[in-house]
Amino acid sequence: MKPQLLLVGLGNPGATYDRTRHNAGFAALDHLSSEFGEGEWKPMQKFNAVIQEGRIVTAPILLVKPQTYMNLSGDSIVKLLRFYKLEPGKQLIVFTDDVDLPLGTIRFREKGGPGTHNGMKSIVDSIGEGFARLRLGIGPQPKGKDLAAWVLSKMTAADAKSLKSAIDQTPEIVRKFVLGE
């Protein structure tokens, strides 16, 4: 199946990173999988990712979780785009955490820079800025806390609930993107 759209969630692989702020992109993909996924997640070595086929209305999609670790996400995405001959500006949405957005907020943009996010920098370095991204607010970073340690720490139940309320909005945003609304 050739997908018409790649939905890529950024995160770090492994149980150590489950429920961390930095894995908000993976959490969004898990939710989108429950809405649009068909079948099981499958490891795909040639893309260094786990993937799941799916469908939005009649459009075939591919849900993707790169297994490269966050800061090398672009490597996996560029391989997928080349293999399937997809255009990033029309056929890719990246889901990522954003420390600069308040916890539980969501921001969708069809293009733009990477901001301070190293995973997004990797993607921009690999394919340029012309792709859609949905940023999930995990901020603000508490004063005096090391940024890397904080984004890689487990969320409290209250923070996880706030993030989930943002993630719950993602299927409708994706559906509108596919339908051109």
Bridge partners (DSSP) of residue 63 are: 7, 52
Q: Which of 3, 20, 22, 66 is catalytic?
A: 22
Active site residue 117: no
Query: C-alpha distances in angstroms, 96 versus 1, 48, 126?
Result: 26, 18, 17
Q: Which residues are catalytic?
A: 22
